[in-house]
Amino acid sequence: MTNPLLATWDTPFQIAPFDRISDDDFAPALDQALADHKAKIDAIAANPEPPTFANVIEAMETPSQGLDQVLSAFFSVAAADSNPKREELQRDFSPKLAAHFSEITANKALFARVKAVWDQRDDLDLSDEQQRVLMLTHRGFVRGGAALEGEQDARMKDIKGRLATLGTEFTQNLLADERDWFMELSETDLDGLPDFVVAAARAAGEEKGAAGPVVTLSRSIITPFLQFSPRRDLREKAFNAWAARGANGGETDNRAIAAEILSLREERAGLLGYENFAAYKLETEMAKTPDAVRGLLMDVWGPAKARADADAQVLTQMMHDDGINGDLEPWDWRYYAEKRRKAEHDLDEAELKPYLQLDRMIEASFACATRLFGLEFTPLDVPLYHEDCRAWEVTRNGDHVAVFIGDYFARGSKRSGAWCSAMRQQAKFPTPQAPIVINVCNFAKGDPALLSYDDARTLFHEFGHALHQMLSNVTYESISGTSVARDFVELPSQLYEHWLEVPEVLAEFATHAETGEPMPKDMLDKVLGAATFDMGFQTVEYVASALVDLAFHDGPAPSDPMAKQTQVLESIGMPRAIIMRHATPHFAHVFAGDGYSSGYYSYMWSEVMDADAFAAFEEAGGAFDPDRAKALEDNILSTGGSRDAAELYVAFRGRLPGVDALLKGRGLAA
């Protein structure tokens, strides 16, 4: 019987046949797929014909169907619907995959052929896109260690394998801490909590098999609990558990793992001739240097800290007015900020949430894409990896564009956060293939499911990433969709968040869950008026995380990352009542893999552009200006990594942006 992961998929749009795939299929399928892929690479390296763009670069671009199918199906379920078997497989697969791809980069015969094509590039009459793919391929080999010899070459392979193992351990430790901790609540402990928080706590209790409602470490439950619970003792207990993820001692403690990861990254950069890991990592980004990153972050830090300090004084006085003396603590901030928001903006999240139904917000995100880019969304009935998932066919003018899958609800088997991934990326070579894109979020279940305003923003954010994948229109998969500089990849996602704040969008889609009535005009005005509320807090917790990440990699690797974290926070005057958004032991962006290592700043780098880019719409005909929408698609959303990121932005906007639009957008301008 053929392993379903290695068969040709006869499903609609070749979506993975999850109803026919079992966990026992993954390991043998991966072994076979890796062997097939290795044979293909070896054949390219051993080809006796003179090296050409076609028989070297395009040959490597030809997808390995088996390997692509196995990896896309496995990593989709491993991140969003894990179980002990899948966690075991992930621990086994990580070093195996690292060794496989490291072996390709270290293949001297293959690199010699890549270099031969690179050396004759001026005589090959390549298109701009082909020149870009050649440059990126050659650069990838060099940065991967292809030019290393002997002991250095062997050591690089060992480092890559060990880093892959450590990244997986970090992720699984964090998942275990998030999954295993919960705090049971008595009926009296529910006093003062809005109905939607009570409902989420009861649903979480049922999932955990508890006797009653519980608070878990899912952001969709713990954040509103910290906002609304009048029980300071319970807030403190829940907050401390949340802050301690990955740092509880025992088998799931991530602190030693973080230290080893930083040490290995430093060694890896040194082998390649870089001063430190940040210099290595940032070379290929828009920012280029650690100094440029630090400059941006500190330009924002000053105004943000000043705002947060002023806000802390207000919140402290509110707490003292409640008869609680002493200092404002991190478990107090959200509670008193929510009280203040209600008082100053007359905006109560409990009253707001019924107007932010998940289904209506999905409709809103689709409707904006229809108006901007002509996309249409039709529900699909296909087997997916979890019953919570839904799928849509995406078309334009009747032509198939993509498949979009949404997996929106929190569960114990899903890691925290939100993300977008592609089970298949767009490409035209060797044959046209349309993308299959997944948005994964962690919203609280309900009937109907209701979102906070931050949740709704997250939904739009991830759908912006999805549009970057779905509207991609390039020849080669290696530069398709979100295959761009890390500090450019967040531009489409953060830009799309702005459409949630367009008054006509909220007026149409923010309708009450029970009455169906649109959000009242005064509430709509309050929502938009409060858009920058508590922005000092939000900016401080983010920038602090980004500065710690940069400090970890811009210099010698710290032997004690926690001490280094403390040193950085003290040096910038971190407000005592705010903690990093992601403290080191649960900083998955930085330690689960190399993706955002010395790159967490990229959200803010992209925000500088997204604030400026949306201003381009406002300066033209408004949020749905057709000319600006076409320019956005033509120069950014459809182009993937086919050109330099700065060049793409200038093509859209006519210039590069400054930090002013960001400070204005966050309400931090002087």
Report how far residue 665's alpha carbon sits from residue 475's, in angstroms, rounded to the nearest whole number.
36
8 A C-beta contact, residue 606 and residue 649: no
Which residue, among 232, 238, 297, 310, has the nearest Cα to 607 in the 3D structure? 297
Selection from 404, 398, 465, 479 nearest residue 434 by Cα: 404
619, two tokens: 């300066």
H helix and E strand count, the chain:
27, 7
Active-site annotation holder among 58, 129, 178, 462: 462
CA nearest to 338, candidates 416, 452, 216? 452
User: Is 393 marked active-site?
Assistant: no
Nearest residue to 577 (alpha-carbon basis) of 318, 345, 230: 318
CA 622 to chain centre: 28
Instruction: Check if the beta carbon of residue 546 is closer than 8 Å to that of residue 600.
Output: yes
Distances (CA, A) of 76 to 59, 243, 379, 456: 27, 27, 20, 23
Distance (Å, whole) CA 98 – CA 166:
12
C-alpha 473/C-alpha 480 separation (Å) is 7
- Using CA atoms, how far residue 527 sits from 225, 355, 359, 450, 506, in Å, is 21, 11, 20, 16, 10
DSSP string, 124-161: S---HHHHHHHHHHHHHHHHHTTT--HHHHHHHHHHHH
Nearest to 167 by CA among 601, 600, 582, 594: 594
Q: Where are the beta strands (DSSP E) in 165-230?
A: 182-184, 214-216
Question: CA geometry: angle at 568 spanning 330 and 485, to 5°?
Answer: 100
Cα–Cα distance measured from residue 77 to residue 83, given in angstroms and rounded to the nearest whole number: 9
Sign of CA dihedral 526, 499, 545, 667: negative
| Residues labelled as active-site residues | 462
